Structure 1
C-alpha cells in the first residue's frame, strides 16, 4: 500500500478487507520535501565549486588544489581519447565483482554463524582480529598469491567488504525480537520457518546497512590494489597523474570514483526499498 492510500471499512454486505481510496494531493505535497532537499544539495555544490574556482591561484596555490574548470577540461580530454572509459571500466568491474563476492559471502556467513550461538561465540574474537588487519597490508600478500591481474584487486575488494557485511548481518540476526521467534515456535513453526519468516526479514536492516557502509570500502580495496601494482584502472591514473604533478588529473579521477560510489549507493537504496516493503511507512 502506498502512502497516498488510506484504509476504510467496507460497507455492509461487501467483501471484507481494506479498501484503497486515493488521496487527492498536489504534486508539491507528494514531492515537495524531496525536491527541496535536492535543490539545497545543488545549491551547496554550486556554491562550493564557485568558491573553489575563485579562490584557486588567488588565495591558495593552484598546484595543490587545481580548479574545477581544469578538472572538467581533463575529464573532457580523457573522455575524448578513451583513457577515461577504458580505465573506468576496468575499475568498475573490480569494484562490482569484489563488492558482490564480499557482500554475498559476508551476508551468508553472518546469517549462518550468528544463528549458531555457540559457534559465533567461539569464532567472534578471530573474526574481529582478522577485521582489524589493515587491508592495505594484505595487498603485497595478495600479489604473491594471485599476481597483479584483476583477480588480485577483486579479492582485495571482496576481503574489505566481507567483514563489514558480516558484522552488520550478524548484529541484525542477534537483535531479532525473541518474542517473534517464540510466537512462531508456539504456532508449530520449525527452525526453517523461524529463519525464513522471522530472522531473515528482520535482519535485512543489518544486511543493507552493511552493504551501504561497504560501498566505499569496495572502491578502496580495488584502488589500493591498482595503486600498489597495476598499469590499468583509475588507481593507475591517480598514480600516473600524481607522478607528473597533474593535480587536475588526480581530482578528475576522484570525481569519477565518487560518481561510481553514488551510483552503487542508489542501487543499494532501491534494493532496500524493495526488500523493506513489509515495514510500516514512516510518518
Structure 2
C-alpha cells in the first residue's frame, strides 16, 4: 500500500515538474498559429483590396503577382545568386566588425584613461548618418565588395564596441575582488572574469549587428551595384515592377529571419545559464 502511495507521489511530482514545460509548449503553438493567422489575414486583405479594384495593382501589386514574380526569379536562378552575394557580403562585414568591435571594447575597458579619451569621438562617429556617408564610401572604394563591407562596418562596429564596453564595465565587483584575492593575473581577469560576464551584452550586440550588417550591405547595393538583393530592389523599382520590388523585400526578410534564428540558436547554446528574454 505504501509503495502505491509513493509511486503516486512520484508521478504527481513528475507531473508538477513537467507542467511548466507543457505550458511553454502550448504557448509556443498558440504563438505560431496566431502569427500564421495574422499573415494570412494581411495577405487576404491585400489581395481583396486589389481584386475589388479599390487600388491599382501598379502601386501595391498583389500577393498573387508577387508570388509569381518570386517564383519566376527563383526558378531562373538569378534571385538565389543575388541572395548568395548579399549574404556573403553581410557575413564578411559582420565577422570583421564583430572581431574588431569586441576587441576594441575589451581594450578600452582595461584602460579607463583611453576610454575617457575616445568616448567623445565614439559618440560623434556613432551619431553620423551612415546613409549620408555611403555615397562617399562608394566614391572612394567603387562598387565592389569593399564598399559594401565598409558601409556595413560603419554600422556594426560601434554596436559591438559600445555593447562590449558596457558589459565589461558592469562586471560584478564581488566576482572581481574574489578573482584578485585568488591571485588572478590580468590575462585571467580578461578571459575568465570580464569576457564571460560581458557575454550577454556581447550577444545582444551580435544579434543587432547581424541585422545591421545586412542593412548596410543593402544600402550600398541600392545606391550603386549590379548584383545582390539591393540591386534587385533598386532595379525593379526603376523599371516600375512593383511585384519585383516586393519579391526582393520578401527574400531580404527571409534572409534576416534566418540570420536571427541562427544567432539565437548559438546564443542559447553558449548562454544556456541565462534566462532568455527574447522570442525568435
C-alpha contact (below 8 Å) 1:115/1:174 kept by paired residues: no
2:36 corresponding residue in structure 1: 42
2:245 counterpart residue number: 250
State whether structure 2 residue 174 is matched by structure 1 residue 179: yes
> 1:197-276, aligned counterparts within 5 Å?
197-276=192-271
What 5-or-longer segments of structure 1 have no aligned partner?
A: 1-21
Contact 1:157-1:219 at 8 Å conserved across structures: yes
Unaligned runs of 5+ residues in structure 2 are 1-12
Higher relative contact order (CA 8 A, sep 6+): 2
CA RMSD in angstroms, aligned pairs only? 2.0
Deviation at 1:23, TM superposition (A): 4.3
Whole-Å separation in 2 of the counterparts to 1:161 and 1:220: 10
Equivalent in the alignment of 1:10: none
Paired residue for 2:121?
126
Q: CA deviation at 1:145?
A: 2.8
Following superposition, the deviation at residue 59 of structure 1 comes to 3.1
Counterpart Cα distance in 2 of 1:42 and 1:103: 34
* Alignment coverage as a number of residue pairs: 261
Query: What residue number does 2:6 align with?
Result: none
> Which structure shows the bigger proportion of residues in helix conformation?
2
Q: Which moved more, 1:139-148 or 1:204-213?
A: 139-148
**CA gap 1:276/1:140 in 2 versus in 1, 3 angstroms:** same
Contact 2:211 2:259 in 1 (8 A): no
- Structure 1 residue aligned with 2:131: 136
Alignment counterpart, residue 64 of structure 1, candidates 51, 59, 64: 59
TM-score of the superposed pair, with normalisation by structure 1: 0.85
Q: Secondary structure at the match of 2:272?
A: helix
